[in-house]
Structures are given as C-alpha cells and as structure tokens.
Amino acid sequence: MQIRTALERGDPKALELIWDAFAVEMLACAQNALGSRQDAEDALHELFIRVARSRHAVAKAGNIRAYLYAMTRNIAFETLRRKGKESPMDDEAENRLPWQAPESDAASLQADLQAAMGALPEEQRTVVAMKVNDEMQFHEIAEALAISQGTAASRFRYAIAKMRKFLKT
C-alpha cells in the first residue's frame, strides 16, 4: 500500500510504512541537527507522534520525504532552543559525519572534517549534511528547508569553499 493512500484512509499501517521508508533518514537528520543520538531518538519519537496527529496534512504534502525532513528539523530546533543551545556544535558530537573513516589512522582527517563542518554557519552546515549524509538533491533540500533551489545550491557551494579553505590552513 502506498504511504499517501494509507495516510488519507487513516490506516494504522501508514505509520509503519513511514517508519520503514524514512525512519533511518529522519534519525540521521535529527542526529545531525542535534549532535546527540539520544536527543535524535527523542526527536524521531516526537516526529511520529506529530505525523500520527496530522496524517491528513502529511498526506497532502507534495513530497512526503521533504515534509518529514522539515518536520524533523523543526523538532530538532525546538529541542535546541529548549536546551538553550544554538547549535549542536556546542557539544562534542559523536558520529556526526557519514564519511567517517573506519581506520584509526584517519582520526585526524575525521577531526579536521568535523572542525571544518563546525566552522560553517548553521544554514550551510544543514545543506551540506542533507546533500552528503542524506544524498538529497538540491530541489529536495530546497523543499525541505523552504528555500529556493538556487539558494540551496549556493549554500552548498559556499560551504564547500569554506571547508576547503579551512582544511588548507
């Protein structure tokens, strides 16, 4: 059964379908925004509560994946505000980047990449994470963040340029 149809019908299986299709991505999105696995799991739980309460709104979304990303990011930012943080980089975050090298000799590269990501403004860091971690296209990022596709692309381009400069020094 298709997710949209299940949501429109109020089928209890809709949440299971959404979980199977998107839970891993939304957890990664929340963890990227929050910097904590525990907080990300709490955000994912809150996401599914909200989806259950607003099934019809989710069903009407043009792109359910992008809509869920937007909901997840909003929940993450509410969590950060509630905790009095502006950014997850306020804490030492574990497992924040998907390109972590499995070899221990790559720890220095990993630390450099985390530092470069941490030096980015939140808007740019978010776009990079969605593009690299979640393998989203610019039009999907734009829809999820309610920005234009050009803005998403330019934030990514500027972020990569800043990261290159940061890593060269």
Judgement on whether residues 18 and 67 belong to the same structural domain of the protein: yes
Judgement on whether residues 43 and 70 belong to the same structural domain of the protein: yes
DSSP for 37-95 reads HHHHHHHHHHHHHHHHHTHHHHHH-S-HHHHHHHHHHHHHHHHHHHTT-S-GGGS--SS
Residues in Cβ contact with 43 at an 8 Å cutoff, skipping those fewer than 6 apart: 30, 33, 34, 72, 75, 76, 79
Would 150 be classed as within a structural domain? yes
Judgement on whether residues 21 and 84 belong to the same structural domain of the protein: yes
- Assign 118 to helix, strand or coil: helix
pLDDT of residue 101: 43
Judgement on whether residues 73 and 152 belong to the same structural domain of the protein: no
pLDDT of residue 104: 45
Q: Which residues of 45-59 are buried (b: 16+ CB within 10 A; e: fewer)?
A: ebbbebbeeebeebb
Would 99 be classed as within a structural domain? no
Judgement on whether residues 84 and 128 belong to the same structural domain of the protein: no
Please count the residues of the chain: 169
pLDDT of residue 81: 87
Question: Cα dist. 29→7, 50, 99, 131 in Å?
Answer: 23, 16, 15, 11
Would 98 be classed as within a structural domain? no
Going from the first residue of the chain to its last (169 residues), give the mean pLDDT of each consecutive group of 10, the final group possibly shorter: 88 92 89 86 94 90 88 89 68 43 55 80 88 87 91 94 85
Domain count, the chain: 2
Judgement on whether residues 15 and 78 belong to the same structural domain of the protein: yes
Judgement on whether residues 85 and 110 belong to the same structural domain of the protein: no
Q: What is the CATH number of the domain that holds 63?
A: 1.10.1740.10
Q: What is the CATH number of the domain that holds 114?
A: 1.10.10.10
Rounded Cα distance between 155 and 40, Å, is 24
What is the domain range of residue 147? 104-169
pLDDT of residue 16: 93
